[in-house]
Structure 1
Amino acid sequence: MAAGKGQWAELTYGRSDAGEMVIDHTFVPPVARGKGLAEKLTLRAVADARAEGLTVVPLCSYVAAQFRRHPEWSDLLRG
């Protein structure tokens, strides 16, 4: 996601053979922080996981905190 001035915000993940989206990292450049970009990336990842029938493993501390704030996403957590 473009964050301005040639910099990008990112959320990285991998997919396991068990049908999991393993989210391991988010980053927003300092110049773009406080604008909700990490939240937008997380919302998109949650929507994609739901649409594709994947469970989510939130290894990233930001994404893990968002899952704690959004109990309505608990159905996406594995086990």
Structure 2
Amino acid sequence: MKPEFENIPLVKNEEKKRFEIEYNGHFAFIDCKETSQQIALIHTESEPELAGTGAAAAVVEKTLFYIEESGKKLLPFCPYVFAFIRKHPEWKRIVDERFEGYDKI
């Protein structure tokens, strides 16, 4: 994660059902669905003003830390999150082994 994002807090926006960070007045976020044992990450997006800044990667990494701390398992349906985990395989430790694409990570 780029240093400029390290101290930005991750917000769990219950109303919008997403995890988000705000940087310079703009948002990067991940839509999610949560059960008592799993968190499914559905779609990652950042506002156009944040393109190329690393904001999307930062919100993903912060969300993965949140999921790990919660003790829940990850279902990485979002292609961006899936690719992030392939690039950083140490995060496979929080992916639910029953996830259909688990063996492709």
Q: What's the TM-score once normalised by structure 1's chain length?
A: 0.86
Q: State whether residues 11 and 25 of structure 1, in contact with CA within 8 Å, keep that contact through their aligned partners in structure 2.
A: yes
- Which residue of 1 is the match for residue 102 of structure 2? none
- Which residue of 1 is the match for residue 40 of structure 2? 22
Question: Which structure has the higher relative contact order (CA within 8 Å, separation 6+)?
Answer: 1
Q: Look up the SS of the partner of 1:9 in the other structure.
A: strand
- Which residue of 2 is the match for residue 12 of structure 1? 31
Q: Deviations over 1:3-42 (max 9, x none)?
A: 44x542211111124x111000111122211101011100
In structure 2, which of residues 67, 72, 77 is the aligned counterpart of residue 49 of structure 1?
Answer: 67
1:2 matches 2:48: no
- Which residue of 2 is the match for residue 63 of structure 1? 81
- Aligned residue pairs total 77
Moved over 2 A (4+): 1-4
In structure 2, which of residues 23, 48, 51 is the aligned counterpart of residue 33 of structure 1?
Answer: 51
RMSD over equivalenced CA pairs, Å:
1.4
- Which residue of 1 is the match for residue 16 of structure 2? none
Q: State the one-letter code of the partner of 1:11.
A: I
Unaligned residue ranges in structure 1 (runs of 5+): none
**Cα distance in structure 1, aligned partners of 2:23 and 2:49:** 8
Structure number with the higher helix fraction is 1
